[in-house]
Every structure is written in structure tokens, then in C-alpha cells.
Amino acid sequence: MLDLVRALSDDFVEIIVASNPGGIFPEELSRLPSKAKVLNLKIASKNKLRINKLKYFNDSLFVRVGRAILLLFLEPLLFLVNQIVFFRLILKVKPSEILICNGGYPGGTSCLTLAWTSKIFRIPTSMSIVSTPTARRRYLSNLESQIDLAVWSSCKIVITNCDSASQLLIKLRGLPNSKAAVIYNGVVDIEISLLKNYSARQSSDKIVIGFVSRLEKAKGVFVLFEAFRELVSRFENLELVYFGSGNAQEDLSLLIQRNGLVGKVKMEGHHFGEISQVLSQIDVYVSPSFWEGLPYSLVEAMRSGLAIVATNVGGTEEALKDSISGLIVHPDSSESLMDALTRVIVSPEMLTRLGNAARESYLEKFQYYDFEQRVQKLFKS
């Protein structure tokens, strides 16, 4: 979202970035152009109502069905509340263009609501989607197909950050080919001093395996832990570091204690600051996620010249070539992950080769300047 705003900022007199309170991290605000203003909106959402977090009797079938019925009745209400919020926003701001930044698809209901609302006011609207879309629910297929048609008719263009997400939107959600655009994430290059230098390593040095993302089950944090638990019994010079926070944090901390791995596995929390400083402390970057678009942190690891092990989800295989610029493994498989990590642990030459190739792939596909040019060209067309 921030990169799209920056890339388009020269074409607008003023930019209003509207989000729910706390929707943008403080350190990200500095990346906004000077003409951008942040506006907090009280957007109604399922997360605020905590409906998805209701649990009883170990989340029994009865409760899951009840929660689904409750959501079915609540979603139209959330739509109406948010439509009023967006009506007021548009009347206040009077935008000449609207850019909706959605996580996945359908993602936030509020994002879909804004698309419909913008159509009422006949304001040109675009949407970005940065994660793998989900298929329509079978019991709501007809309703969701109509929702999709309404969203696509409201948007002049739908931008994804990898081709796999774009193709799934077309296949699963009926996005017209003519409205699909793929623009890979771009990140500004770093100083040479921050690039990984494997040649400076000694054979006795510890190998630090690093994870940088939200601590959630779907991000593969437990699969990574299982793989590491087996590896550390064979290789004493290993360390695992998690950078991030999330709902799996407490369970992960308990696992570390129960397995006697305090000191071997570290949890550093969310990093506020330049991520390249964190990546310079890592020897092997791991992305064990079950579900992704094209992770921003993956591109940052490529920029740093790190050896990478990642699951074959989303756009990972568009960014990395297996055994050339990274090692690609199956999601939700600690065995597959353990085998790949073993290959780089026992081979300093492979660490260097993979890291150099990842860096070359970044320079070829993911520099910010190229991203900016592609965004500007797309919107001007």
C-alpha cells in the first residue's frame, strides 16, 4: 500500500490514507510522502466483534455452525454500517481517484464495501490484492459470485504482486483478464556493508536460521520449530530466531521451554526499524508459510543476499528457482524443511551460491525504481 501511494504521489495534489486506528505501524508512517495525510476511520469488522475468536467445548461442530450462521446475519449489517462510513468519507474528501488496498480476497468486507460505494459516486477506483485468494464457499457460491461481479465492475484495474494470485482471481473469482495487472513488490536497495558476506564465516561459527513474519500457525512457525528441534540434536552450532508477533507467540514460547531449547530458539518480537539490520544477523532465511502471495520479507531477504528456504506457495517460485536461487519445499512438512536446511548447513559453498543468486534475482526483478515505473505506466495508461 505504502509503495503504491509513493509511486503515484506526484500525480496528485493531496493524498488521504484512510484506515482503521492502528492499521498502519508507526515506523511505516515515515515512508509516506509529505503530502499524504492519515485519517483514522471507525470501520466495522468481524475482528472487532471477535466473532471469529469465539470458542467453547474445544470449538465443537455445534459452535462452528452457530458462528457461521451468526456471521451470515452480521455481514449485511457490517456492510450497511461501513457504507455509511464511506459515504461520509467520500463526501468529506471528494477524491478524484480511490485506491483500495486489500490483504487477500475477499479479504476485508470493508474493502468490498468501499468498491461498491465508489461506484455509486462514479469515482475511478483500483484495488490491490497481495495474498492468495480463497475459493467461493460452496453454500454461498451464488451470492459470492454476485458480490465478485459487483466488485470487478466497480474497479478499473486489480493489481496483484504475483502472477499466481492474479491467475487464481481469474479462475476462482471470475476477475476479467482485461482488469488483471501484476506488479512485483519493489524494495529500495541497501548499503553494500549490509549485504551478507558468507566468505567471512568461520567453519566453527554458529548458523542462525531466521524467520521474519507474523507468528501464526498458517505462517508455518510450528513446522519450522519441529524441523529445528530435530536438526539441533544433530548440529550443535545452530540457532533459530523468530522476529515477529502474533497469536502463536504464547504456544511457541511454551514449546521452547518444554523442549529445553531456551537459548537455542529466541523470540525477538516485532522489529521496529530497518529490516536489513535484522537480516544481517541471519545466515539462512526461512519462509515456511502455508498461504502467501509474494511475501515482502522474502524480497528483502533476497536483497540482502541471504540463502533462502521457502515453501512453494503463492509467488515464491516466481521469485526463486529451486536449487539455484533458493531451496523450495512443500508447505506443512517438517521433513521437507529439515532436509533442505540440512543441505545448506553442511555446505558453506551452497550458502554462498544461493545467496548470490537470490541477490541477482532481486536486482533483476524487485528493485523499487522498476516497481515505481511499472505503477506509473499502468495508471497513466
- Per-residue pLDDT of 206-251, as tens digits, reads 999 999 999 999 999 999 999 999 999 999 899 999 999 999 999 9
**Burial class (CB within 10 angstroms; exposed 0-12, middle 13-18, buried 19+) of 23:** middle
Q: Are residues 68 and 17 in the same domain?
A: yes
Percent of all residues in the chain with a pLDDT value above 90, rounded to a whole number:
73
Question: Residue 227's domain spans which residues?
Answer: 192-365
Confidence of residue 29 (pLDDT cuts 50, 70, 90): confident
Q: Measured at the alpha carbon of residue 103, what is the angle toward residues 59 and 250, in degrees to the nearest 5?
A: 45
Identify whether the C-beta of residue 265 lies closer than 8 Å to the C-beta of residue 242.
yes
Identify whether the C-beta of residue 109 lies closer than 8 Å to the C-beta of residue 79.
yes
* Cell numbers standing for residue 138: 460452496
pLDDT at position 333 over 70: yes
pLDDT value of position 217: 95
Q: Give the N- to C-terminal CA distance of the chain in Å, as an integer.
A: 20
Q: What is the distance of C-alpha 112 from the center of its chain?
A: 19
Longest dimension (CA), the chain: 65
Identify whether the C-beta of residue 17 lies closer than 8 Å to the C-beta of residue 41.
no
pLDDT value of position 54: 46
Distance separating alpha carbons of residues 247 and 249, to the nearest angstrom: 6
Q: Is the dihedral of CA 202, 353, 367, 28 positive or negative?
A: negative
Q: Are residues 31 and 174 in the same domain?
A: yes
pLDDT value of position 37: 92
Q: Rounded to the nearest 5°, which phi and psi values hold at 321?
A: -105, 125
Q: Measured at the alpha carbon of residue 247, what is the angle toward residues 216 and 337, in degrees to the nearest 5?
A: 25
pLDDT at position 329 over 50: yes
Mean model confidence pLDDT for the chain: 90
> How does pLDDT run across 152-183, given as a tens digit for each residue?
999 999 999 999 999 999 999 999 999 999 99
CATH number (domain holding residue 326) = 3.40.50.2000
pLDDT value of position 56: 43
Q: How far is CA 252 from CA 144, 221, 249, 261, in A?
A: 36, 8, 5, 11
Distance separating alpha carbons of residues 279 and 288, to the nearest angstrom: 16
pLDDT value of position 78: 83
pLDDT value of position 113: 93
pLDDT at position 13 over 90: yes
Task: Output the pTM of the full model.
Answer: 0.88
Q: Long-range contacts for 275-281 (Cβ within 8 Å, ≥24 apart)?
A: 275/212, 275/300, 276/190, 276/194, 276/300, 276/303, 276/304, 277/194, 278/210, 278/212, 278/243, 279/194, 279/196, 279/210, 279/212, 279/304, 279/306, 280/194, 280/196, 280/304, 281/208, 281/210, 281/241
Q: Are residues 224 and 118 in the same domain?
A: no
Q: Are residues 93 and 77 in the same domain?
A: yes
> How does pLDDT run across 334-358, given as a tens digit for each residue?
999 999 999 999 999 999 999 999 9
Distance separating alpha carbons of residues 76 and 118, to the nearest angstrom: 18
pLDDT at position 102 over 80: yes
Distance separating alpha carbons of residues 188 and 8, to the nearest angstrom: 16
Identify whether the C-beta of residue 100 lies closer than 8 Å to the C-beta of residue 115.
yes
Q: Are residues 207 and 233 in the same domain?
A: yes
Distance separating alpha carbons of residues 316 and 291, to the nearest angstrom: 11
Q: Per this entry, what is the length of the chain?
A: 381
Average pLDDT over residues 93-116: 93
pLDDT value of position 69: 63
Grid coordinates 455452525 are at which residue?
A: 65
Q: Are residues 174 and 197 in the same domain?
A: no
pLDDT value of position 49: 52
Q: How far is CA 261 from CA 184, 228, 229, 280, in A?
A: 38, 10, 8, 23
pLDDT value of position 18: 92
The alpha helices in the chain, defined as continuous H runs, are 2-8, 26-29, 46-49, 61-93, 109-120, 141-154, 163-173, 221-232, 249-258, 275-279, 296-303, 316-319, 334-345, 348-365, 368-380
pLDDT value of position 138: 87
> How does pLDDT run across 305-326, given as a tens digit for each residue?
999 999 999 999 999 999 999 9
Q: At what angle do helices 61-93 and 109-120 cross, to 10 degrees?
A: 40
- What's the domain count of the chain? 2
pLDDT at position 64 over 80: no
Q: Are residues 286 and 337 in the same domain?
A: yes
pLDDT at position 272 over 50: yes
pLDDT value of position 70: 61
Q: Are residues 172 and 229 in the same domain?
A: no
321 vs 109, more confident: 321
Q: Are residues 103 and 246 in the same domain?
A: no
CB atoms under 10 Å from CB of 97, counted, come to 15
Identify whether the C-beta of residue 334 lies closer than 8 Å to the C-beta of residue 230.
yes
Q: Are residues 154 and 292 in the same domain?
A: no
pLDDT value of position 67: 60
Return the minimum-mean-pLDDT range out of 81-85, 136-140, 183-187.
136-140
pLDDT at position 330 over 80: yes
Q: Are residues 147 and 232 in the same domain?
A: no
Percent of all residues in the chain with a pLDDT value above 70, rounded to a whole number:
93
Q: Are residues 153 and 12 in the same domain?
A: yes
